[in-house]
């Protein structure tokens, strides 16, 4: 996709005319996935769902937007993204030993931990006031015609299914699936779990990631309603660096 540049660059803000915003959702599954927590340095841990930046990266991979232009693209197109974990079969904990050489004679053995999700399946949500972007994204998903491959975080985490794309509506809601700021969370409904993790938004924020629950919010937020799920979406450019 050719990136049309607005001058000066400005982030498109969705206000009250939600009916003019295109929205869709689709199902995405991986054999393994690791959406790395960048603030964790001692070992490689994972969020249970791809954060807004990772979903924006998936959109970029499908449409052919390279990483260096992704934040600009997301900003100009007002790209709202989110994801809800539908199911997974477990957590894989790997331990490896990294050998560091010094002067080719001495070496240090350092154990490292690696955490992966095993066979996760997600409902991905995307919205944009740029209808052409949403239309092309829908077409490419239906045709499985991607510019770059989709991976679950790293290029050794392979996608096992992409499909069931549906047009949806961008709505304001006080409940939804996926994740939200912990400060916006009022409660949960359902018998699943909630994981609390830090996300580097414009500032460091604590987020609640839901699995098998509906998140109840203190105030209204934006979500993509596809008729089955109401997935909370976020201004993706705020999470991109």
- According to DSSP, the residues that pair with 216 across neighbouring strands are 175, 187
b or e along 173-211 (b: 16 or more beta carbons within 10 Å of the residue's beta carbon)? Answer: eebbbbbbbeebbeebeeeeebeebebbbeeebebbbbb
User: Would 198 be classed as within a structural domain?
Assistant: yes
Supply the range of the domain harboring residue 128: 20-102+117-239
Q: Coil, strand, or helix at residue 70?
A: helix
User: Would 5 be classed as within a structural domain?
Assistant: no
User: Would 6 be classed as within a structural domain?
Assistant: no
Q: Find the CATH number of the domain harbouring 137.
A: 3.30.70
User: Would 4 be classed as within a structural domain?
Assistant: no
Mean pLDDT value across residues 94-113: 71
Mean pLDDT value across residues 21-48: 90
The string of pLDDT tens digits covering residues 114-171 is 899 999 999 999 999 999 999 999 999 999 999 999 999 887 899 999 999 999 999 9
What is the number of structural domains in the chain? 1
* pLDDT score for 8: 36
34 close to 116: Cβ distance less than 8 angstroms: yes
User: Would 49 be classed as within a structural domain?
Assistant: yes
Q: Coil, strand, or helix at residue 41?
A: coil
Mean pLDDT value across residues 84-94: 93
Rounded to two decimals, what is the model's pTM? 0.88
User: Would 108 be classed as within a structural domain?
Assistant: no
User: Would 166 be classed as within a structural domain?
Assistant: yes
């Amino acid at each position: 996709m050719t990136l049309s540049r607005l001058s000066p660059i400005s982030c498109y803000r969705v206000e009250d005319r939600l009916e003019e915003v295109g929205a869709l959702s689709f199902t995405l599954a991986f054999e393994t996935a690791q959406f790395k927590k960048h603030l964790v340095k001692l070992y490689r841990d994972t969020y249970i769902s791809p954060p807004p930046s990772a979903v924006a990266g998936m959109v970029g991979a499908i449409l052919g937007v390279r990483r260096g232009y992704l934040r600009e693209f997301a900003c100009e197109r007002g790209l709202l993204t989110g994801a809800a974990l539908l199911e997974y079969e477990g957590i894989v904990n790997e331990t490896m030993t990294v050998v560091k050489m010094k002067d080719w004679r001495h070496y240090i053995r350092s154990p490292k931990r690696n955490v992966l999700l095993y066979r996760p399946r997600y409902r991905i949500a995307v919205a944009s006031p740029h209808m052409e972007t949403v239309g092309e994204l829908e077409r490419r998903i239906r045709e499985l015609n991607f510019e770059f491959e989709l991976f679950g975080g790293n290029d050794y985490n392979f996608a096992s299914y992409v499909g069931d794309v549906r047009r949806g509506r961008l709505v304001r809601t006080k409940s939804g699936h996926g994740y939200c700021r912990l400060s916006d969370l009022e409660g949960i409904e359902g018998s699943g779990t909630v994981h609390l993790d830090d996300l580097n938004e414009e500032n460091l924020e604590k987020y609640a990631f839901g699995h098998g629950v509906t998140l109840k919010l203190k105030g209204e937020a934006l979500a993509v309603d596809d008729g089955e799920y109401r997935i909370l979406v976020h201004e993706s450019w705020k999470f991109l660096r």
